[in-house]
Chains A and B, each alone.
Chain A
Amino acid sequence: MTQTSESIVDDYMRRLEQCLAGLPPEVAKDVAAQVGEHIATALSAMSSPSESDVRNVLEEVGSPQSIARAAAVEFPSTHRVSLRTLAFWGYVLLFGALWGYATFGYTHQNLDGSTDTGMIYVWMVMGFVGSTLVGLKNRRIQNRRMRTRITLGDGAVIFGSLVLIAVLPGFIGMVKGLVLLALFTPYYYKTWHIYQAT
């Protein structure tokens, strides 16, 4: 098998492992092992599988998400709130708070010229609830290595956002908000499949 073919299979298996992260570790391991053997057996039947052979085999096996969804149906979670919902609302509230704070600050000019600073409490409550949900979400990731990595990733993005808010000059709130979105969107895009099945 060529190097590219091997790395295609490795990528697939890594993604499968990530998609199965919300399931009990022994289930995730068992399912991933069987799928891995299936792919290996299918490829070993070919004398020299090309890249497109490998892709065809993986296509017939199905997407990692579809396998993880099937696993979540066979081994239903006992939690009332899905991991997907927790991740979505956790991130929306936490990053909504950071984004809102960066973009609008917390002072509001009243019509009579005085200022209110009440918005700080809105951002604080949103941030608090959001980070609680993000923490609960991470506790639900049952693969320990992945839980550590995601927790560190979440922490790095939050810390990075706070540093950016502090470092970027105050008069360009809109730009700050956009920079935060540019930081957060790729992170969410890279990790969202972890939460989809469970």
Chain B
Amino acid sequence: MTEDDQLISQMRRGALQYCVLALLRRGPRYGLELVKVLSQTTSLTASEGTVYPLLSRLRLLGHVRTEWRDSPQGAARRYYALTDEGARALDSFEIAWAGFRDSVEGILEGSRSNDSNL
């Protein structure tokens, strides 16, 4: 892997963590549901299974907690829910992300247009 690939995969990994928290903001989801939404709406995951180590760590970190709930199909499912700490981490990421995105985009767009004063 080149240094560029490594940097990009680190950025992706950093963002993925908060996307997981954001997907839990409106309420708990079970693993398959969460992972499907994540892999269908973003290009952040390599494969579905690679999200679970991240979920394990988020739980150890206290940003996510799990609970078992009965499903319509009968078998109980493990649901992932945002903790207060996770919600705070997500809020501060959101602020940081907005600033980050605007600065990077400003530079990138300025670098392409001729009448920019950058």
| A60 surroundings in chain B (CB, below 8 A) | 39, 47-48
Flag if A67 contacts B49 (CB, 8 Å).
Answer: yes
> Does A124 have its Cβ within 8 Å of any Cβ on chain B?
no
Convert B41-52 into 0s and 1s, putting 1 for each residue whose CB lies closer than 8 angstroms to a CB of A. Answer: 000001111101
Asked if A78 is an interface residue, CB under 8 A from chain B, the answer is no
- Does A48 sit at the interface, judged by CB under 8 A? no
A37 close to B77 (CB less than 8 A): yes
**Which range holds the interface residue count of chain B?**
20 to 34
CB <8 Å contact, B77 and A38: no
Q: Report whether B49 and A42 are in contact in the complex, using a CB–CB cutoff of 8 Å.
A: no
Instruction: Write the chain B residue with the least CB distance to A61.
Output: B49
Interface residues of B in 24-50 (CB under 8 A from A): 30-32, 35, 39, 46-50
Given contacts A38-B32, A44-B75, A62 and B49 within 8 Å (CB-CB): yes
- The total number of A-B Cβ pairs within 8 Å is 74
Within 8 Å by CB of A37, from B13, B31, B47, B73, lies B31
A31 at interface, CB cutoff 8 A? yes
A34 with B47, Cβ < 8 A, contacts A27-B56, A44-B73, A73-B53 known: no
Is B88 interfacial (CB 8 A cutoff)?
Answer: no
Nearest-Cβ distance from residue B33 to partner chain A, whole angstroms: 9
Is the C-beta of A136 less than 8 angstroms from some C-beta in chain B?
A: no
Q: B53 to chain A: which residues have CB within 8 Å?
A: 27, 31, 67, 70-71, 73-75
Are A70 and B46 closer than 8 Å at their CB atoms?
Answer: yes
Q: Which B residues form the contact surface with A (CB < 8 A)?
A: 13, 30-32, 35, 39, 46-50, 52-57, 59, 71, 73, 75, 77-78
Given contacts A67-B49, A73-B13, 11 further A-B contacts (CB under 8 A): A37-B32, A38-B35, A41-B71, A45-B73, A66-B47, A66-B50, A69-B50, A70-B50, A71-B53, A74-B56, A75-B57
Instruction: Pick 29 A–B contacts, CB within 8 A, sort by A.
Output: A27-B53, A27-B56, A31-B56, A34-B56, A35-B52, A37-B32, A37-B77, A38-B52, A41-B71, A41-B75, A42-B32, A45-B73, A60-B47, A62-B47, A62-B48, A62-B49, A62-B50, A66-B49, A67-B50, A67-B53, A70-B46, A70-B49, A70-B52, A70-B53, A71-B53, A71-B56, A74-B54, A74-B56, A74-B57
Residues of A within 8 A of B (CB): 27, 30-31, 34-35, 37-38, 40-42, 44-45, 60-63, 66-67, 69-71, 73-75
